[in-house]
Amino acid sequence: MISHDLAQHIVAVEAFLDREILAEDRPHEKPDSAFSIAGAHRAWQRHKGCDLDACACKRTAMRVLVDAKKLVLDARIEGKL
């Protein structure tokens, strides 16, 4: 019988490990160099589940895609960039 605390710990560790698989170096920070459009597309896909407020990488990718007219923003999102 696994204790409740241990079960919670296992869930937390697994969530962390999943992030590590997806992650590159600093997964949700603004990239050091500008995204290419293809790079922005990949980042946009990789961070699809991220909250825009919490993920500078997603915001940066979105900005590139919007500027390239690859993505049309909802007015509610526009204010966050």
Q: Is 61 an interacting residue with respect to Zn ion (CB under 5 A)?
A: no
Binding part of the chain for Zn ion, among 3-11, 14-22, 33-41, 54-62 by CB under 5 A, reads: 54-62
CB of 57 to Zn ion, least distance (A): 5
> If you ran DSSP here, which 8-state letter would residue 13 be given?
H
Instruction: Confirm or reject binding of residue 28 to Zn ion (CB under 5 A).
Output: yes
Contact residue for Zn ion among 47, 60, 61, 62 (CB under 5 A): 47
> Residue 23 is encoded by which pair of tokens?
């992650």
Q: What are the phi and psi torsion angles at 64 (to 5°)?
A: -65, -45
**Do the beta carbons of residue 41 and residue 63 sit within 8 Å?**
no
